[in-house]
């Protein structure tokens, strides 16, 4: 591999190559109205209605979260560094008549003006941040005083008892149980990335919350109750994968930039 090829390049390429099938997977795209309502319930609980407030969806991927926020009345900008993801997000928003701006950028260094957003939302980015301390300082700067960041993430590294059982079944039957949606050919890359990111042992909610506090955020609330979302997702998942998801350390964290 070229020595100028950094961990950030590798993460960007990894997601670029997953873009084509990203929306086929439960947990990425939304597959029922009940799941959509469960997600909107989570955002309403922590952010309230959009009322035209400016929201930045960091690592917007194919635009799933951007579209949810748009549906709640936020004025949404999505930012991602993988062009194939952005292309899908733009096409999806256009086909649904949603006015959302999607732009190329690094979530750790957004280049957005200080105090230019009311809300930052990000799903499944933090676990793969190379420098979360710098990222959280950046997010703090981009938010206006009183603005909120909402992180939805999890520890996808530590093995739950269910995961261990799945692995045992796979070993015994020499068959995949479809418990992961990482394509076989990409598992090596995924593991290599994981070894190099900050949360290589898994992004635990308490640790993320502590770093948010160090970056200047206050009123930090960890919400571990994502069961309504997981229940709806489970209806479209194989049993073992649904069980794995329900027992993983997944959470939302909301934090406020002090006035
Ligand atoms: C698991 S996907 C999540 C996409 C979207 N947030 C969602 O939940 O549907 C991770 C996304 O993060 C993006 N990403 C990872 N690190 C990034 C960074 N530093 N800056 C911008 N995008 C990043 C990837 O390109 C990819 O689209």
Closest ligand 1 atom to Cα of 108:
19
Relative to beta strand 101-104, strand 117-123 is unpaired
> How many whole angstroms from 80 Cα to the centroid of ligand 1?
6
Kindly state whether residue 195 falls inside one of the protein's structural domains: no
How large is the C-alpha radius of gyration of the chain?
18
Q: State residue 178 phi and psi, 5-degree precision.
A: 65, 30
Pocket test for ligand 1, best of 13, 39, 57, 59 (most atoms within 8 A of CB): 59
Higher pLDDT residue, 163 or 199? 199
Residue 3 clears pLDDT 70, i.e. is over it:
no
Q: Indicate which CATH number applies to the domain containing 111.
A: 3.40.50.150
Residue 239 lies in a domain: no
Closest CA to 79 of 95, 61, 65: 61
Q: Residue 149: its pLDDT value, please?
A: 98
pLDDT the model gives residue 154? 95
Could you tell me if residue 208 is inside a domain? yes
Eight-state DSSP code of residue 106: B
User: Based on the structure, what is the number of domains in the chain?
Assistant: 1
CB 81 within 8 A of CB 104: yes
Compute, in angstroms, the gap from residue 59 CA to the centroid of ligand 1. 4
Contacts of residue 194, defined as CB under 8 A and 6 or more positions apart, other chains included, come to: 157, 200
Each residue's pLDDT tens digit, 29-76: 999 999 999 999 999 999 999 999 999 999 999 999 999 999 999 999
- Structural domain contains residue 120: yes
Ligand 1 site residues (CB inside 6 A) read: 11, 15, 28, 59-61, 64-65, 80-82, 85, 106-108, 123-125, 128
Residue 162 lies in a domain: no
pLDDT at 163: 73
Domain-located, residue 96: yes
Tokens of 182: 């990482």
Would you say residue 244 lies in a domain?
no
Give the number of the atom of ligand 1 that is nearest the alpha carbon of residue 82: 25
Is residue 122 one of the residues assigned to a domain? yes
Highest mean pLDDT out of 116-130, 157-171, 239-253:
116-130
**Minimal-distance CA residue to ligand 1 atom 4:** 61
Name the least confident of 154-163, 173-182, 241-250.
173-182
Among protein residues, the one with the nearest Cα to ligand 1's atom 27 is 61
Identify the domain containing residue 107 by its residue range. Answer: 7-155+203-234+249-256
Consecutive H or E run containing 101: strand 101-104
How many A from CA of 49 to the centre of ligand 1?
24
- Average pLDDT taken over every residue of the chain: 92
């Amino acid at each position: 591999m070229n020595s100028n090829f950094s961990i950030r390049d590798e993460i960007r390429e990894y997601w670029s190559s997953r873009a084509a099938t990203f929306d086929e997977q439960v947990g990425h795209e939304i597959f029922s109205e009940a799941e959509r309502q469960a997600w909107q319930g989570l955002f309403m609980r922590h952010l309230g209605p959009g009322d035209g407030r400016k929201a930045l969806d960091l690592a917007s991927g194919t635009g799933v979260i951007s579209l949810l926020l748009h549906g709640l009345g936020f004025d949404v900008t999505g930012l991602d560094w993988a062009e194939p993801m952005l292309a899908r997000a733009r096409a999806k928003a256009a086909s649904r008549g949603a006015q959302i701006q999607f732009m190329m950028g690094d979530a750790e260094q957004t280049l957005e003006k200080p105090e230019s957003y009311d809300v930052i939302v990000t799903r499944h980015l933090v676990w793969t941040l190379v420098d979360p301390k710098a990222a959280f300082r950046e997010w703090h700067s981009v938010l206006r005083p009183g603005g909120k960041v909402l992180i939805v993430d999890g520890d996808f590294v530590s093995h739950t008892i269910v995961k261990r059982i799945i692995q045992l079944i796979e070993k015994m039957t020499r068959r995949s149980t479809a418990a992961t949606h990482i394509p076989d050919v990409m598992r090596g890359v995924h593991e290599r990335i994981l070894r190099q990111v900050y949360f290589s042992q898994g992004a635990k909610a308490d640790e993320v919350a502590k770093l948010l506090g160090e970056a200047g955020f206050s009123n930090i609330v960890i919400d571990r109750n994502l069961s309504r979302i997981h229940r709806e997702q489970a209806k479209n998942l194989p049993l073992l994968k649904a069980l794995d998801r329900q027992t993983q350390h997944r959470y939302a964290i909301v934090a406020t930039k002090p006035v």
